Amino acid sequence: MKKNLFKAGIAALVLSAVQLTPTFAESFSIETAKGDVSIAQVPQKIAAFDVAVIDNLDALGIKPAGILNGLYVDYLDHVSASDAVKLGTFFEPDFEAVNALAPDMIIVATRSAKYLEELGKIAPAVDLTSEWEGFMQASIDAFKQTAKLVGKTAEGDVLVAKLEASADDLRSLVKDKGKTLIIMTNGPKISAFGSGSRFGWVHDDLGIVPAIDDVEAVTHGEAVTHEFVLNANPDWLIVVDRSAAVGQDGSAKATLDNELIAKTTAWQKGQVIYVNSATWYISGNGIQAMQASIDELTAAYSK
């Protein structure tokens, strides 16, 4: 009899502990672009206003409840096709739709960062923007904070380790591959990118030697001409097609079909790399985008 009473008492204590566990859930903090932010609990209903953020959530197996109207990158087509509520664009959020969704966390970054305060009136909001300078580490840091936010730190560490190993392999591969120029076409226009720029992580973090050292580090690159590309005479040419990335007319291949470009070493050796422009331009600092970009470059420089 006493043994049964003892067992019943233990069972009651265990049940009480289970029932009380949520009460003792501890808050935690994450690092954001605006400083440390205290989080009351792991969010269950996230509204995400940045493609790289959605990339990161998807990599961690988290399905956002609300997303942008268009994501542009094909590897997130399954997210676009999901039942996630469409909440406008990163340039113009649909505040009525956000209100109706009633998320318990809103994440902004980069293009949508300016709406942090206004969206924060609807629900807790954080800015996970990462800077171009120190791109790879800044992007990894933002990803780790996302993983911490959603309670997926261990899963995040695995993805970061894979990314860093791939980057190490690429650095070894490109040591003796010559010099590279990164350009972006926008219809007939051409701009160049160097160290410290939007795509500068290719040089700064991946060890790919730049063909030009003094390119102006501005958001959309330094405007250049076909003659500039010839004078730089890169061994390799990395091409981002902005028009293709955002679904507009204008082909990078047509823009570069020019007698001056044809004289470059890169062109003559067939070392022109047309990258997945949407991934590079739209979601470039997402963990999946970075992994895909490194894999893409590894394949190209291995030929």
Residues 191/194/197/203 CA torsion (nearest 10 deg): 140
* Tokens describing residue 216: 């102006």
H/E segment holding residue 159: helix 153-173
Q: What is the pLDDT of residue 6?
A: 40
Q: What is the pLDDT of residue 1?
A: 45
Q: What is the pLDDT of residue 96?
A: 98
Structural domains in the chain, CATH included, are 25-154 (3.40.50.1980), 174-301 (3.40.50.1980)
Determine the number of helices (DSSP H) and then strands (DSSP E) in the chain: 14, 12
d(CA 244, CA 228): 23
Evaluate if residue 52 carries a pLDDT over 70: yes
Q: Which residues contact 132 (CB under 8 A, 6 or more apart)?
A: 138, 196, 197, 198, 200, 201, 217
If pLDDT is split at 50, 70 and 90, which confidence band does 220 have? confident
pLDDT digits (tens, 9 = 90+) for 21-47: 333 368 999 999 999 999 999 999 999
Q: What is the pLDDT of residue 237?
A: 98
Choice among 163-172, 199-208, 216-225, 267-276 with the minimum mean pLDDT: 216-225
d(CA 112, CA 3): 63
pLDDT digits (tens, 9 = 90+) for 150-167: 999 999 999 999 999 999
Tell me the CB-side half-sphere exposure of residue 175, using CA atoms within 13 A: 5
Percentage of the chain beyond pLDDT 90 is: 84
